């Protein structure tokens, strides 16, 4: 039997999937049981409602939600559940994602959406933030997150060492 998802990843359109692959890759890498859904707050409002009000009883601990333009998906879901929501603003063609950013981050006081950066960097960080939150109650997961950070540190150090050895770094 499939593990029950701890994290739900919800996007407003199939066109957001390329961005959310970044989130899925992180959750896969850390072995977090998750589900990925396409649900739109304005095109499928009844499905958005059903999803949000049933998330907690299905065992979902965190929702990562993202939509583009002024779609408000993360805020709408947040209004319907006590499950914490991480919002990912999609990059857009007209305003570069500033529209999505403002519609996600500027929630009026009372219903929070923890918003990450626009686009792929935000989608990746949403996954990592979910891992960090879940690792508060999971020592093994915390150790894997620490190892992930250490690997990043080593990669930067190696890049710097190679640059210094290349002769290009000083004149």
Q: Is 13 in the site for ligand RP5 (CB under 6 A)?
A: yes
Q: Is 71 in the site for ligand RP5 (CB under 6 A)?
A: yes
Nearer residue to ligand RP5 within complex by CB, 70 or 143: 70
Q: Is 3 in the site for ligand RP5 (CB under 6 A)?
A: no
**Where in 87-116 is the site for ligand RP5 (CB under 6 A)?**
90
- Rounded least distance, CB 40 to ligand RP5, Å: 5
**Residue in the structure block whose two tokens are 């540190």:** 153
Q: Is 44 in the site for ligand RP5 (CB under 6 A)?
A: no
Give the residue, chosen from 51, 55, 69, 126, that forms a contact with ligand RP5 under the rule CB under 6 A. 69
Q: How far apart are CA 16 and CA 43, in angstroms?
A: 15
Q: How far apart are CA 111 and CA 126, in angstroms?
A: 18
Side by side, the strands of the sheet bearing 7-11 are: 34-38, 7-11, 62-67, 85-89, 114-115
Q: Is 12 in the site for ligand RP5 (CB under 6 A)?
A: yes
- Distances from the Cα of 147 to the Cαs of 5, 30, 144, 151, 154, in angstroms? 24, 11, 5, 6, 10
Applying CB under 6 A, the residues found at the interface with ligand RP5 are: 11-13, 15-16, 40, 67-69, 71, 90
């Amino acid at each position: 039997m499939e593990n029950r998802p701890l994290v739900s990843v919800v996007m407003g359109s199939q066109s957001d999937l390329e961005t959310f692959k970044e989130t899925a890759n992180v959750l896969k890498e850390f072995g977090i049981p998750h589900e990925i859904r396409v649900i739109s707050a304005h095109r499928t409002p009844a499905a958005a409602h059903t999803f949000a009000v049933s998330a907690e009883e299905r065992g979902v601990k965190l929702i990562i939600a993202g939509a583009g333009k002024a779609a408000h998906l993360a805020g709408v879901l947040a209004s319907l559940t006590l499950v914490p929501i991480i919002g990912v603003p999609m990059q857009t063609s007209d305003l570069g994602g500033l529209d999505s950013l403002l519609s996600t981050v500027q929630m009026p006081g009372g219903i929070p959406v923890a918003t990450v950066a626009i686009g792929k960097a935000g989608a990746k960080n949403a996954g990592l933030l979910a891992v960090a939150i879940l690792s508060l109650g999971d020592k093994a997961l915390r150790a894997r997150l620490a190892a992930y950070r250490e690997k990043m540190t080593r990669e930067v150090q190696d890049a710097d060492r190679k640059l210094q050895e290349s002769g290009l770094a000083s004149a």
